[in-house]
Each structure stands twice: as structure tokens, then as C-alpha cells.
Amino acid sequence: MSERSADNRKFWNKEEKMLDELVQRATRAGGKQAVEKLAKVGKRPVRDLIQDLIDPGSRFYELSRIAGFGMDYPGVNDIPGGGIVTGVGKIHGNWTMVLANDSRVKAGTYFPITLKKHLRAQAIAEQCGINCVYIADSGGAFLPMQAEVFPDDQQFGSMFFNMARMSANGLKQITLSTGGNTAGGAYIVFMACQSIMIDQLSYSFLGGPPLVKMATGEETTAEKLGGAKVHTQVSGGADHLCANQEEAVNRVREILALEPPQKLHVHRFDSIPPRVSRGTIAELLPPSPHQSINTRAFIEAIADNSVFNEYKQNYAPGRGDNLVTGKILLKGIPVGVIASNNSGIIFVEAARKATEWILRCSMEKIPLLFIQNSPGYMVGSDSEHMGIGKYGADMVRAVSCSQVPRIQLVIGPDNGAANYGMSGRAYKPHFLLHTMRSRTSVMSGKSAAGVLLSIEEAKREAKGNPMTDEEKQAFNDTMVKKYDTEAHPFYCGARILSDRVVKFSRVRDWLAMTFEVSLLKPIGEPNFGNMRF
């Protein structure tokens, strides 16, 4: 290992240690005291229940673990993990989406970020065609923010709309209630295809005892109003009565045991590990996200047998190869690759090549991996006259209309329209993964500061109050800090602009999972609408 490689690895190990620390804050909310409090009423931490739910020895791929930090809601700054656990795991060999309220975080109530995480998990499940299991233990909507969580599209009601639509399309919606589910939250139980409640532990009602007394004068208890026996023996609102959490988890597994086995809608070859070690990626990538990289070496570190079958490798040297295209096998799955290379700036030639490759892979029904490390499309008179706007737009059209599964992996700058052409969040990739090197924003902090400073200088000049050198430096530093903070993977992950911040050593495993899950649904026929050449 060279000295530079060793320095790179040391830097990224330090960065990923900070990620570990943030994840611990999210997954151990309330600490030992919270776990002990759960135990007193016969409950276990929700992630423990998920481990029992999925197949023994299998892995739970948890999504958006660092959601909810620094949200600055009324009276609340951090919602560790967004107050809900989501992710995919196998139940009887079938990939399944799990959505589980973490009652240790604000009693499992729904803040805007909780809703966003819940709805994102449902969107993945629907897009990929997999069943959902809900582990429900929630106080419902966070009432001080009712206007932000209740009435609109993509707010509380959308959870139940999605359950109904997925069920209608044959995707099972199974709810295990492990606690109280009140008001809108009760519909997580009542709208499930099958629901399980636990005696003396689960409750579900449209209005709890205090509301009932206020509205009708009736005095009752949670158990008498909507306990597990009421809904499994009297109302019919739930389907299975269990004595404890262990029995309830096993009942969910029994319900899903007869689901037909899933199959991939692509031929899968034998998997061959890369010829380089897991640590190679951390050695390849320099600490600065703005430094040029050799993406071909990165691709070889994730590809089966480190083989990259490149397309148009020699086209327009120095311009066309700022995007590299080609095919790899990823744990036996054929994948088309569009990857930023060198500085990552997208020239006209690179945009043309990428568009052509997206269309070819779509015609062949080959899924696409976008490895994003681009500060944007090339600007200037030469590029505008060569048609960068048109050919960049063609790339965006191709991404928008491509019917094959798309995964985005961000390993560097993710700025401007390159975010669009490389299948960013607005283009609905099946999964979107960030690394600690990712930086997602409209432009870099340095560029933004320069643009905004020139505007501020002009305004001050017009008022006859020009900026001093000290004021210019202070303004520049403030803008750089603002943009660099908002581009950081922690900021983006907290707001669910990514589905996971992945360690470099786990990139191959995560990519393989995302393509496997994304290929469970048949791939439709290509239709590229208003493509113009």
C-alpha cells in the first residue's frame, strides 16, 4: 500500500467512526433506562423484534438510520432515527419491507420526518413489489405540528392510502401491534390484510378514554375500549390474539410462510468476488470531494472478478471519458454503469454517450447503476454553442423515462443538474445511497459563496456602502460553511435525501441487495416519449 493510499484509508476510517457514533445515538435512544422501562411491561427494543422476525442468520438492511437529527421542530431538535425503524430483510426467503415504530423516541409519535421515512419505505416496497410488515406502537400524530403532519398529500393519510393500494395489488400488509395505536394510528391495525394484537399489551381505538369521556361522558379503560381481546373476539378489527411479543412475531412468520418464493427478472450468473480487497475503495478516494478520481478503479473494486466491460472507452478523450459507461456483474447480477470520472464535469460528448447507454440498457432490460461524482454540466460559450443544454436535457429525459431499476451511489460532488442527469432523488431511483464523501447541493460552498458575494457587493455598492475586505471575508466564510454543512451526508441523511450512508467496505453488499430487491418486479417495455435527437 502506498503512503497516499494509507492516508486515504486513515482519513475515511476516521470519518466513518463519526458515522458510527451518530448511528449509536439513533439506535440506542434513551439508553439502558429506556430498555429497562420496556422490559417492565413485557416489551423488547424494536430492533430486537426485527431480528427475531427475519430469517435466522440473515441480515436486516436498515434504511435512513440517521434520519431526524437537527430538525429544529417546536420544542424538539432531534428525533433519533426519525422515531421509526425501516428496512428490508428476508422472511422465509422472501425480501420484505419492515416498518416499526420505536416507542423509545417520543412515544413513537409522527413528526414530519417520521412520516417522510415511513412513506419512503412504502414507496420502495411498492416500486419493488415486496410485502410490508408493520410493528405498530405509536402515539399517533405529534399534535403541536398537526398542520405539518395531518391534512396534506404525503402526510398522515398517505400511509393508509398506500396500504390500501399495495394490498389491492397483491402486496401483503401485515401489522403486529405491540402497544397503543390511537386515532389515525389505529388504521395501521385496521387496514392491514391481517393484524396481530397482544393480550394486555396492544390497544387500538379511534379515540382513547380521555377523548371518549370528553365527547360522550362514558368512562372506560384502554383495555375495555380497544384491547386485544376486544378487537379479536368482539369487534373483528384484528385477526390474531397472542400472549406475548415472542408468540406474536412467530405468528407474523407463520402468516408469511405460504407466500410464493420470489424470483429475479433477470438471468443471474455465478458470483465471483472482486480481485481486490474490501478496503480498496477507501484507499482509492482522496479526502477532498473536489479532487479528481479514477472511477474505473472504483468500479473494479465492486465488480465481480473486477471485470468492467466498457462501452465507448476511446470516445472523445478528455471530454467523453468524464463519464464512463459499460457493464459489470454484481454478485452475478448484470448491471449497466454510468459513472463520473476524473473531475466529473459533464461535457457534451459525455452527455451524449450517457444518454445512448441509458437507452441501450433500457432496451436490453438491464438495470442501471449511477455512480455520482459530478459538480455539474460544463458551462461557458463553447459548451452552450455545442448544445450542452440540449444534450444534458436528453440525458435527463432518458433517466426520467428509463423503465429499468435504477440505483444511485454518490461518492463525491452531487451538484446542479448533474444531480438530475445522474438519477437523483427527484428521478425516483429504487434506492439512493450516499457515502461519507458525498456532497449534495445546488453547488459547492466555494462556488455559492463567490456568486452570492458578487450579488451582495453589487447591492452594497448601489447603496453607497461598499463592503470592506473584512466584511467580504466574513460573508464568504459564512456562505461556505452554510453550503458545505447542508451538502454533508449527515445533513442529507437526517432529512432522508439518501436511503443510507454506506461505509466504503459495505458498498458492494448494499448495491447487490438493492439490485436484487429492485429486480423482483418484472421490467416493462421501454417508452422514451419526447426524446429528440
DSSP 278: T
Determine the pLDDT at residue 84. Answer: 97
Gyration radius from the chain CA atoms: 25
Beta carbons within 8 Å of 253's beta carbon, 6+ residues apart: 53, 91, 92
184-205 exposure pattern, b = at least 16 Cβ within 10 A, e = fewer: bbbbbbbbbbbbbbbbebbbbb
Of the candidates 117, 108, 119, the one whose C-alpha atom is nearest the C-alpha of residue 154 is 119
Q: What rounded mean pLDDT belongs to the chain?
A: 95
Sequence-ordered alpha helix ranges (H) in 222-347: 222-226, 228-229, 245-256, 280-284, 295-302
pLDDT tens-digit readout, 347-358: 999 999 999 999
- Write the pLDDT tens digit of every residue in 245-254: 999 999 999 9
d(CA 259, CA 130): 11
Does residue 445 register a pLDDT over 90?
Answer: no
Confidence of residue 185 (pLDDT cuts 50, 70, 90): confident
Among 67-71, 219-223, 405-409, where is mean pLDDT lowest?
Answer: 219-223
Q: Report the pLDDT value the prediction gives residue 532, as an integer from 0 to 100.
A: 62
Indicate the pLDDT class of residue 209, thresholds 50, 70 and 90.
Answer: confident
Which one-letter DSSP state was computed for residue 363? H
Q: In whole angstroms, how far apart are CA 84 and each of 102, 134, 176, 194?
A: 5, 10, 14, 21
User: How many angstroms separate the CA atoms of 162 and 168, rounded?
Assistant: 10
Q: Which residue from 93, 34, 30, 29 is spatially nearest to 58, judged by alpha carbons?
A: 93
Q: Give the DSSP letter of residue 505.
A: G
Contact 256, 91 (CB under 8 A): yes
Cell of 223: 383495555
Q: How far is CA 145 from the centre of its chain?
A: 24
Secondary structure (3-state) at 327: strand
C-alpha to C-alpha distance for 174 and 254, rounded to whole angstroms = 11
> Cα(329)–Cα(243) distance, rounded to whole angstroms?
47
Share of the chain above pLDDT 70, in %: 99
Among 175-179, 192-196, 456-460, the minimum mean pLDDT is found in: 456-460
Residue 182's pLDDT is what?
Answer: 86
Q: Which of 48, 26, 5, 62 is nearest to 502 (CA)?
A: 62
Q: Are 440 and 487 in contact (CB under 8 A)?
A: yes
496 CB-near residues (< 8 Å, 6+ apart): 64, 67, 82, 113, 116, 117, 120
pLDDT at 531: 74
Is the confidence at residue 533, as pLDDT, over 60?
no
pTM for this entry: 0.95
Distance between CA 117 and CA 308 in Å, rounded? 35
Tell me the helix, strand and coil percentages in the chain, rounded to 5.
45, 20, 35
Residues 137 and 46: their CA atoms lie apart, in Å, by 10
Residue 520: per-residue pLDDT: 98
What is the share, in percent, of the chain residues with pLDDT greater than 90?
87
Q: Which helix (H) or strand (E) holds 526?
A: none
55 forms bridges with which residues in the sheet? none
> Which positions ≥6 away from 116 have C-beta within 8 Å?
67, 82, 154, 495, 496
- CA dist., res. 245 & res. 199, Å (int): 10
CA 323 to chain centroid? 24
Which of the four pLDDT bands, split at 50, 70 and 90, describes residue 140? Answer: confident
pLDDT at residue 139, rounded to an integer = 85
Q: Which residues make beta-bridge pairs with 205? A: 182
155 or 53, higher pLDDT: 53
Residues 488 and 501: their CA atoms lie apart, in Å, by 11
CB neighbour class for 522 (10 Å; exposed up to 12, middle 13-18, buried from 19)? exposed
The answer to whether residues 507 and 12 touch, using CB atoms and an 8 Å cutoff, is no
Which ranges of 156-288 does DSSP label H, i.e. alpha helix?
A: 156-168, 187-190, 209-216, 222-226, 228-229, 245-256, 280-284
pLDDT tens per residue, range 24-55 = 999 999 899 999 999 999 999 999 999 999 99
Answer whether 129's CB lies under 8 Å from 171's CB.
Answer: yes
Supply the pLDDT for residue 85.
98
Q: What is the mean pLDDT of residues 513-528?
A: 96
pLDDT score, position 497 = 97
pLDDT exceeds 70 at position 134: yes
What CA–CA distances, in Å, run from 291 to 22, 413, 444, 446?
A: 27, 10, 13, 14
- pLDDT value of position 228: 96
